[in-house]
Amino acid sequence: MSWQGIEGHDDVVDRFRRILASGRLASTFLFVGPAGIGKRTFALKLAQSLLCERAADVNLDPCGSCPSCQQVVAESHPDLELVSKPADKAFIPVEVFIGDREHRMRDGLCHNIALKPFLGGRKIAIIDDADYLNQEGANCLLKTLEEPPANSLIILIASSEQTQLPTIRSRCQVIRFRELPHSVVVRLLATLGEVESDVEAEQLAAFSQGSLQRAKQFGEPDLRAFRDEFLTRLGQLPSASVALAADLGKFVESAGKDAPIRRERLKLVVLVAIEFYRAMIRQLNGLSPTGDSGLQAFIGDDLRAQNVDPETVAACIERCLDAQSQVEANANQATLIECWIDDLARLFQSAYA
């Protein structure tokens, strides 16, 4: 089943229908879940449903043809504010919330959301890339979240609750989005023309961890080849850790000159490592692998015979999550990679000692 062409999130649709039926729609929501699973698409379709001029919002069934519906699709509705991180910025600029220096508090989301609706009965703001809210931007937004204007709705979209400041998180109703089922990723890849065969769709879906975005990234043959080599060498740690860090650095640099592109590639590398260690944990606990069953070939058949213990692997996952945060914080990439791989090697060196 799918809602308005959006697959994999029918449970979230049901939740919003219940909320609307009760008349208790909150003013602020935090949508959390992995990138590439449809959170922004869902938020826009929800906005369309709430701004539709012909259909009752409680049904979440917009007509799709009225002026409001068409303007939402075009992202030009006067009662809809859309905010995202510019490609050339590390964070969402504070100006998008409170205006530039010449228009402080007379422009930007915080000003516009408080204006009387132009067409419908409410104003809606969608803040994509909320992971990139820095302290200054969050503080500017905080006043609006504490005292939201009447008939307003603000949706923040992030990868997890932990990426948000406690002051923001505590003022939002959290909506968790699950990873897309394997079959859905396969179907979407084929429908969108991202693959040349069913075999390729199955392979990319296995790498995706439920994210269409991640599946598309692994559509590049060079990335798939690198992934196999990286997984092999992860399984060989603590040996050759210095060479692995150096090769990782070269691979990240080869993505291009733009820092955001290199950062995205490094984030993908870290995700592959997390996938690897999570598969290890499952194997140590007697569970079958999820997603890419081929991971077994890189891990080995009997981890216990190698004296690998769950505590060590859990510590590796924790270190990878720290590396994720450091990438998001725009840490020096060369230093980050060197320290991260060295720490992973040390963890296994201690386990084998």
- Residue whose C-alpha is closest to residue 158's, from 172, 142, 143: 172
Q: In what order do the strands lie in the sheet with 28-32?
A: 80-83, 123-127, 152-158, 28-32, 173-176
- Report the pLDDT value the prediction gives residue 258, as an integer from 0 to 100: 81
Q: Parse the chain into domains and list their residue ranges.
A: 2-176, 179-213, 220-352
Confidence of residue 346 (pLDDT cuts 50, 70, 90): very high
- Residue whose C-alpha is closest to residue 82's, from 126, 46, 44, 41: 126
**Phi, then psi, of 101 in degrees rounded to 5:** -60, -30
Q: What percent of the chain has pLDDT over 70?
A: 93
d(CA 152, CA 150): 6
**Phi, then psi, of 187 in degrees rounded to 5:** -65, -40
CA 69, chain centre distance (Å) = 26
- Report the pLDDT value the prediction gives residue 104, as an integer from 0 to 100: 83
d(CA 28, CA 6): 22
Better pLDDT: 220 or 20: 20
CA angle 46/52/57 to nearest 5° reads 60
Most confident of 43-52, 219-228, 278-287, 302-311: 43-52
Name the DSSP class of 167. Answer: H
Q: If you average pLDDT over residues 40-59, what whole number do you get?
A: 94
Question: What is the number of helices (H) and of strands (E) in the chain?
Answer: 16, 7
- Report the pLDDT value the prediction gives residue 353, as an integer from 0 to 100: 58
Least confident span in 17-21, 170-174, 306-310 = 306-310
In the predicted model, is pLDDT for residue 286 greater than 90? no
DSSP string, 182-217: HHHHHHHHHHTT--SSHHHHHHHHHHHTT-HHHHHH
- Report the pLDDT value the prediction gives residue 18, as an integer from 0 to 100: 95
Confidence of residue 225 (pLDDT cuts 50, 70, 90): confident
Say how many Å lie between the first and final Cα of the chain, rounded: 52
Better pLDDT: 30 or 208: 30
Q: If you average pLDDT over residues 316-338, what whole number do you get?
A: 90
In the predicted model, is pLDDT for residue 308 greater than 80? no
Better pLDDT: 268 or 350: 268
* Residues 139-157: tens digit of each pLDDT: 889 989 988 888 899 999 9
In the predicted model, is pLDDT for residue 1 greater than 60? no
Q: 152, 123 in Cβ contact below 8 A?
A: yes
Q: 179, 50 in Cβ contact below 8 A?
A: no
In the predicted model, is pLDDT for residue 61 greater than 80? yes
Query: Cβ of 254: how many Cβ atoms within 10 Å?
Result: 11
For domain 220-352, say whether CATH 1.20.120 is its number: yes
**Phi, then psi, of 109 in degrees rounded to 5:** -60, -45
Q: How many residues does the chain have?
A: 353
- Report the pLDDT value the prediction gives residue 167, as an integer from 0 to 100: 87
Q: 321, 274 in Cβ contact below 8 A?
A: yes
- Report the pLDDT value the prediction gives residue 136, as an integer from 0 to 100: 87
Better pLDDT: 16 or 207: 16
CATH number of 2-176: 3.40.50.300
Better pLDDT: 166 or 286: 166
Q: What is the pTM of this model?
A: 0.83
CA 227, chain centre distance (Å) = 20
Better pLDDT: 262 or 338: 338
Burial class of residue 187, CB neighbours in 10 A (0-12, 13-18, 19+): middle
Q: If you average pLDDT over residues 210-236, what whole number do you get?
A: 88
Better pLDDT: 319 or 222: 319
